[in-house]
Structure 1
Amino acid sequence: MPKPLLTEEQMEKINFTLIEALHTHKQVYLTYYKQGQYITETGFVQFVDSLGDLFIFIDEVFELRNKMKLSDLIDVRFI
């Protein structure tokens, strides 16, 4: 699958949702693009660096700390 191109509005919505999740400690569904696939995981946002294209989340299943590029995100939604 090709990586989808997000609009500026979609990217802003993702950023706002990540920052809200970070400050409220709410759990989110993260959908991201990796090696031609769309992957959805559930977790908690721990860190967001919009300028550095980086965020860190803790996944719900294994409680692992995952560093990811913001540019790989396709969607973020609250549970």
Structure 2
Amino acid sequence: MEYRGMKKWRPFATLPEQYIGLQEIINEQEEVAQPVLTEEQMEQINFTLIEALHTNKQVYLTYYKKGQPITEKGFIQFVDSLGNLFVFIDEVFELKNKMKLSELIDVRLA
């Protein structure tokens, strides 16, 4: 008789569709509703964005995407209040990211 050692096994791995469905359910449960900002908060965000743009300081951006709040660090390159758009360069990959101002939750100077 030969010793097989400890083998990993997944008892319910016969249906891969089941894992896809379970992952979707888990993701839906982890979703957070987008917070509604007051006028004061929106004014503060606009002020901070413009200050970071003119002084070329790094900012921490917290935005809402696909049910999750995401925080990134980067530089503001362009702000268009009328078009509800801004462009920032993230610190990690140095990529330009276009985003709607309505997706922003918070902006802080680094």
Which interval holds the TM-score relative to the shorter structure? Answer: over 0.9
TM-score, length-normalised on structure 2? 0.71
More strand by share: 1
> Normalization by structure 1: what TM-score?
0.99
Instruction: Return structure 1 stretches of 4+ with deviation > 3 angstroms.
Output: none
Aligned to 2:50, what secondary structure does the other structure show? helix
Provide the residue aligned with 1:14 in structure 2: 45
Which of 67, 71, 76 matches 2:98?
67
* Mapping for residues 1-79 of structure 1, pairs under 5 Å: 1-79=32-110
Q: Identity percentage over the alignment?
A: 80
Size of the aligned set, in residue pairs, is: 79
1:51 and 1:10 map into 2 onto residues whose CA distance is 18
| CA RMSD in angstroms, aligned pairs only | 0.3
Gaps of 5+ in 1: none
C-alpha deviation, 1:73, in angstroms: 0.2
**Separation in structure 2 between the aligned mates of residue 34 and residue 53 of structure 1, nearest angstrom:** 16
Q: Which has the higher contact order (CA 8 A, sep 6+)?
A: 1
In our comparison, the structure showing a higher alpha carbon Rg is: 2
- Higher helix proportion (structure 1 or 2): 2
